[in-house]
Structure formats: C-alpha cells, structure tokens
Chain A
Amino acid sequence: MKKVKPGKLVSDIIIWAVVIGFTLSCLLPLLNMIAISFSGSDAVAANEVGLLPKDVNFTAYSKLLNDSQFWKSFLISVERVVLGLLINMFFTVTMAYPLSKSKLRFPAREIYIKFVIFAMLFSGGIIPLFMVVSNLHLTNTIWSLVLPGAVPVFNVILLINFFKGVPDSLDEAARIDGASPIQILVKIYLPVSLPALATVALFSIVNHWNDYFSGLIYMSKSAMYPLQTYIQQLTVDITQITDAEQLKQMSSMNNRTFNAAKIVVSTVPLLVIYPFLQKYFVSGMVIGAVKE
C-alpha cells in the first residue's frame, strides 16, 4: 500500500473543490432551465421556479414533439450533420496534411496558407453568397446547407497544428519505404491524431447542428427547414387563438417555458454524441514517446 502524501491530499482537495465549483456553476442554470421547461407558465412568469419544476406539465414538450414538422426537420438536421461532417472531415484532412509540411518540403504552402487564412476572415456577406448558391441551383436542397461551409478553415488550422506535432521520423520511415502521401496520411497520421480528429469532428457537428441561419436563407419552404431553423421561429402567441381547446392547452405554457423546452430538446442529441467522442480525449496517445 502506498502512503498518500499529505501534500498530495491537500492539492487533491483543492483541485476537486475548484473543479466541482466550476461544474456546479454550470449545472445550476441548466437545472433551472430544465425545471422551467416542465413548469407552469404562471410560476415561470413570476420567477418562482428554481431547481425544481412547479406546477409540472409537459405542454411545451408535447407542443414540440407532437408537431409532425418537428420530426421532419429533425431528420433533415441529422442528414445535414452526417453529410456535413463527412464533407468537413474530408476537406479538413486533405487540406491540413499538405499544409502541415514544412516550407522546405512544400514551398507553395506559404501561399496556400495565406489564402486559407484570408478565407477564414473575409466574407462577402449574405446577399452575394445567396446569389452564388442560388445560381448554382443549390437552394432548397440539402447541399445549400453543407457546401458553402464545406471547408471549415478554423478546423483546418487546428488540425495543421496537431499534424505538425507528429514526429517527422514516423513520416520519413514510411517515405523511404516508398509510401505515397495519401498512404502516409491514412496509415500513420490519422490513427495517431484521433483526439484531434475527434475535436474537429465535434466542432463540425456542433456547427452544423446549431446553425439556423443558412436554413432560413436557403430554404424557401418551412417544410425544408432543419431543426434549429424550424424551432427558433416558433413562439407562443395566444392573442390570435380563440379555439377553446387550443387555448386551454396553451395557457399552461409561455415563451419562457417553450424556449427552455426548445433548448433541452435540441441539446439532447449533442449530449448523446459527446461522450462518444470524449473517449478519444482520455486515451493517452503515445506520440510523445517517439519525439526527437
């Protein structure tokens, strides 16, 4: 049995306390939001809901989940994320690898990289981009959601830096064996870069899932909206409704309960995906072992 040093114990306590403090500060507003989404509108309007729901009801959720368009939009979003992720990863990897090489091995990288940085920072605005997408006849197709942002420059730069950290010695051995750049990329670089790939994949997924604006611009019918675009435009407005049944149902919710439910519902898929990617962050890679 190893003896625990007192110094270690103290530092352990401090570390746990700080991390738990940070975590709680994030958890409480989340619990508040979840509680609000299940609470009655009156209690919410009066700011009476803390960490536990009051006047529990599921109206906000039933309004969202009973809506057939919700599920259509959900599927569009899933399709978009899958397609968008594949496209993003393809471009991220194929661009990051050559650009991670030194100036000596690939002189043209200096020009490419300037273009890439430029592309990250400059944009022509909504209208010109819309006109390009529209003239390519991509509007009202899933491609309008995934192609304009096909090259996620921020992710490319992140990955370039991760690739740079891969020791040259690994690369050289393979080159002497006559492996092509693509073989080296696939067989050597990708397997040792799983944490980095998981990171950029996460960013891609989150970006695609959360983006509501392109749906709004490129889709001319709400039947084709992805989920975030669809739900962000829903609000509770009872002033127009006179149908008794509808009114009864709607009066147990308001925009705050509804917005909270929207966030809960649209965040759950991201919560499901995260632990799946997370496992790549904890498995210590042994890149360091071969460092020069």
Chain B
Amino acid sequence: MGQNSKAAARKSSGHAGKEKMMFHLMLLPGMIMLAIFVFVPLFGSIMAFENYSPAKGIFGSKWVGLENFKFIFSLPDSRQVFVNTLVIAFGKLVFNIIIPVLFAILLNEIRVKVFKKTFQTVVYLPHFLSWVVLATVVTNMFSLTGPINSVISALGGDPIQFLADNAWFRKVMVATDVWKEFGYNSVVYLAALTSIDLGLYEAASIDGANRFKQILHITLPSLLPTIVLMTALNLGNILNAGFDQIFNLYNPIVYQTGDIIDTYVYRIGMVERQYSIGTAVGLFKSVISFILIMGANKAAKKFTGSGIF
C-alpha cells in the first residue's frame, strides 16, 4: 500500500468506522446463507464417527469414534489408492494450468477477432461432454486398431494397449482430462489478459522487443497472480483425481495405477451403501484440502508479499 492511501486512511478515520460497519453489513447476507446451507449441514459430519443408518438418524446411530477412519487406513490397498490419487491429481493440476495458460497466450496473439472468437468457442465445448460419452471416443482413439496405434505402427513401433498398461494409464488420464478442460479453464486467463495495458506492448515494440520477449516480459507476468490463484484453488482438489473419467475408462488390470480414492469408495458403497465411510473419506479429503490451501496462501504471502485471499 502506498503512502497516499495511508494518508487517506488517516484523514478519513471518522469514515473508517462507518466503512467497516458497511463492510460487515455487506457480508451479512452471504454469511447467513453459508451458515444455513453449509455450516448447519456440517453437523452431519458426525456420521463419520458413527455407524450411520438412515432409519436411526444422525442422532440415533451408534457412535464408533474413529473406527471408520481406522478402517479406511487399514485397508490393504489404501496406500496404493492414495498414491494413485495424488499422482493423477497432481499431473492434472500442473497441466491444467500450463496448457490453458499457453493456449490463452497464443490465442491472445491472434488478432483476427472472428477467428479468435470461433476458436475460443470451439475449445470451450468439450467441457460439456460427459465422460460416459467420451469414454467411447477415448477407447477408440487408444485401441490397438485406433489412430494412435496406427501412427505408432507406421513409425515402426509396437502397438500399445494404453488403457490396459500400467505404464500408460495415468498419462492417458491426465492427457485426456487436460484436452477436455483446457478451453474452459482458459476462460479465466482470457479474462485476466483483458486487463493488460496495450500501451505496454507498443512501448516494448518500440524498444525492439520481439514477440517472444513481449510474451515473456509483459503477458506472462500479468497473468502470474491469476496463475498463482488458480494453482492454490486447485490444490484443494489434490485428492479429487476425477471420478467420472476414471470410472468410465479403468479396468481391473490397471487398478494398480488407476484406482483412486473415489472409485474405491464407490465400489465399497456398491456392496451396501456406506454413508459413514463415505462421509469419513469426505471429511478427510476436506481437511487435507483446507490445510493445503491455507499453506499455499501462506507460502504465496511469503513469496510474493501478498496472499491469494
């Protein structure tokens, strides 16, 4: 904050109290909504410590303490499932930032408005296709007789069963997810790009900076706050590796690398609905996410001087 604003803050110290009051008032309606629809239902998390049955209700089910958590961590494959989730989610996190940013920057370089808008609209659409439908497209793409293996064969390689190969499965999951979402994810960066002062480019151009340098020194730095923000927010999803996608594409051969927390919990629930275990897992995921996001905020503060929130 500059000198000016401090001076202004002092000057208007009478206003300051009033302003704070106004701020509280503006936040009040939103906080009430959150209280009713988020914080009150949070008491339902008690289920995680119970052997919940709908017929007995939240307040009538048997209290089991930390049993459900102990159960989750005692499963023979909990470690494997946890690692799979982290690896896949991390891959998605990284590339779901890099590719949309790259695309937004490149698209921004295209000055023909009609094309720019058209491209932007087309890439935004795959977000709306569900994985149930896309699964057929993806399995065909990666099948032994599919286009990708045709290229591999043409180049003299051996065909690969990508979706039945533990060396490839995670990579394919990350790649196809990034493909589906990059257009939609780039929206926020395109919005951020609008705030760049076009004069900066002109000045740089006069100084003889080429396009690559302009991108590196003007475009990218101005996107940085948004990139940091999106990274931090997406950290909250580090334990969500994408149920719909994996559920529609995996098979027991690749459980070893592809079975994630959500698919695993889903299969537990298939035998008999397990509200308590589901809630316990959800609670666990939330706690981890919260810690990560708060940590990211602190790190960002230390690193850049200002936090994300």
A–B contact with Cβ pairs below 8 Å: the answer is yes
Q: Which residues in chain A, 25-42, are within 8 Å of chain B measured between CB atoms?
A: 25-27, 29-30, 32-33
- Decide if the interface of chain B is mainly helix, strand, loop or mixed: helix
| B236 nearest CB neighbor, chain A only | A121
Contact between chains at A263 and B129 (CB < 8 Å): yes
CB distance from B209 to the nearest CB of A (A): 12
Which 9 pairs between the two chains have the least Cβ-Cβ distance? A128-B44, A288-B197, A124-B41, A124-B44, A98-B23, A128-B41, A195-B191, A95-B30, A199-B191
- Count of residues in B whose CB is under 8 Å from the partner chain: 100
Contact between chains at A117 and B8 (CB < 8 Å): no
Contact between chains at B282 and A125 (CB < 8 Å): yes
Q: Which residues in chain B, 256-308, are within 8 Å of chain A measured between CB atoms?
A: 275, 278-279, 282-283, 286, 289-290, 293-294, 306, 308
Chain A interface size band reads 35 or more
Contact between chains at B194 and A284 (CB < 8 Å): yes
- Decide if the interface of chain A is mainly helix, strand, loop or mixed: helix
Flag whether B63 is at the interface (Cβ < 8 A).
no
Contact between chains at A132 and B40 (CB < 8 Å): yes
| B7 nearest CB neighbor, chain A only | A172
Report if A22-B30 is in contact (Cβ < 8 Å); known contacts: A119-B38, A161-B226, A176-B11.
no
Contact between chains at A91 and B33 (CB < 8 Å): yes
- Chain B residues with CB under 8 Å of A11's CB are 210-212
- Chain A residues with CB under 8 Å of B286's CB are 121-123
CB distance from A255 to the nearest CB of B (A): 10
Flag whether A191 is at the interface (Cβ < 8 A).
no
Contact between chains at B103 and A168 (CB < 8 Å): no
Distance in angstroms between the alpha carbons of A107 and B183 in the assembled complex: 38
CB distance from A38 to the nearest CB of B (A): 15
Residues 151-176 of B, flagged 1 when their CB comes within 8 A of A and 0 if not, give 00000000000000000000000000
Report if A284-B196 is in contact (Cβ < 8 Å); known contacts: A150-B33, A161-B225, A161-B226.
yes
Contact between chains at A120 and B194 (CB < 8 Å): no
Contact between chains at A118 and B290 (CB < 8 Å): yes
Contact between chains at B106 and A15 (CB < 8 Å): yes
